[in-house]
Amino acid sequence: MKKLLLALATFFIGTVILNAQTDTMYVMKAGVIIGKYNVQTQVDSIILAIPSGSVTDIDGNVYNTITIGIHTWMVENLKTTHYRNGDVIGTTSPITKDISGESAPKYQWPYNGDENNAAKYGRLYTWYAVADARKIAPIGWHIATDAEWMTLERYLIANGHNYDGTTTGNKIAKALAAKTDWYTNTETGAIGNDLIKNNSSGFTALPGSHRYDSGSFEIVGIICYWWSSTGIGGISTAWYRYLNYGCNNLIRSSVYKRNGFSVRCVRD
């Protein structure tokens, strides 16, 4: 028996029907059979290979995508100002408003209130906006979970994306970071050391910084933070990931959900 590979490009929507009575698998497009296979003699597994391409959010922002291991990721941080149903994601006035006393704030900001920064780095969201049932990811996509970040990390390590080529230990920061905009650093294996060697994974992480719940923004060029969609029990913190220009690893930690971080989306 041989494997059947179905390559479904973004412009193709097909249907696979298995008929148990005749041991036949039909591949259909728009109701028309375009392939017929004997399950017993021709097929032992079905692999759906979906090429990377692009996705558009509700605001019309277009994001490039890339498949890394088993998941397809956006190459840019999310920029939308609306939930999937069209409702506006609020912001603060002034942009530096202290929200540390709010219980479950749902906000988004461009870095320092400058829309040019949103175009480049994406927007910064509180975790409560990320977790809202109206959803901020485009249809067919979702905010990366803590487990999906772990899968990305393990895949890159196992496939030689540590800065030194080893397949043990977490030294994948350079593989994730973009080749531009990061502060320079002389530490061996750090993101900021020889930027031209960055981004072997194609993830293209830019140092878009973050917003503290007190209202201040950290300097761009040094660091980037991403929420996962995974909260921690019933408390007010959630898991996130970050990269630092002077470090060689992707770092996992938890923090209060009121902070403004970037997000990356993964295809459902």
Question: H or E stretch including 37?
Answer: strand 32-38
What domain range is 204 assigned to?
Answer: 54-267
Size (the chain), residues: 268
3-state secondary structure of 34: strand
Please name the residues in contact with 245: beta carbons below 8 A apart, sequence gap of 6 or more. Answer: 182, 183, 184, 185, 190, 191, 192, 207, 221, 222, 223
Q: What tokens appear for 45 in the block?
A: 């597994």
The proportion of the chain whose per-residue pLDDT surpasses 90, expressed as a percent, equals: 79
Same domain, 97 and 20: no
Same domain flag for 244 and 130: yes
pTM of the model: 0.81
Task: State whether 198 and 74 are in the same domain.
Answer: yes
Same-domain status, 78 and 23:
no
Say whether both 142 and 202 belong to one domain: yes
Are residues 66 and 36 part of one domain? no
Residue among 38, 60, 22, 250 nearest 153 (CA): 250
Task: Fill in the DSSP letter of residue 219.
Answer: P
Residue 14, pLDDT score: 41
**pLDDT tens by residue, the chain, 268 residues:** 333 434 333 333 344 444 545 677 766 655 567 777 786 777 665 544 444 599 999 999 999 999 999 999 999 999 999 999 999 999 999 999 999 999 999 999 999 999 999 999 999 999 999 999 999 999 999 999 999 999 999 999 999 999 999 999 999 999 999 999 999 999 999 999 999 999 999 999 999 999 999 999 999 999 999 999 999 977 899 999 999 999 999 999 999 999 999 999 999 9
State how far Cα 34 lies from the chain centre. 34
Strand-pair category, 237-244 with 108-109:
unpaired
Q: What is the pLDDT of residue 21?
A: 56
- 144 and 33, same structural domain? no
109 in the same domain as 175: yes
Q: Do 72 and 28 have their domain in common?
A: no
pLDDT value of residue 250: 98
Q: Do 8 and 69 belong together in one domain?
A: no
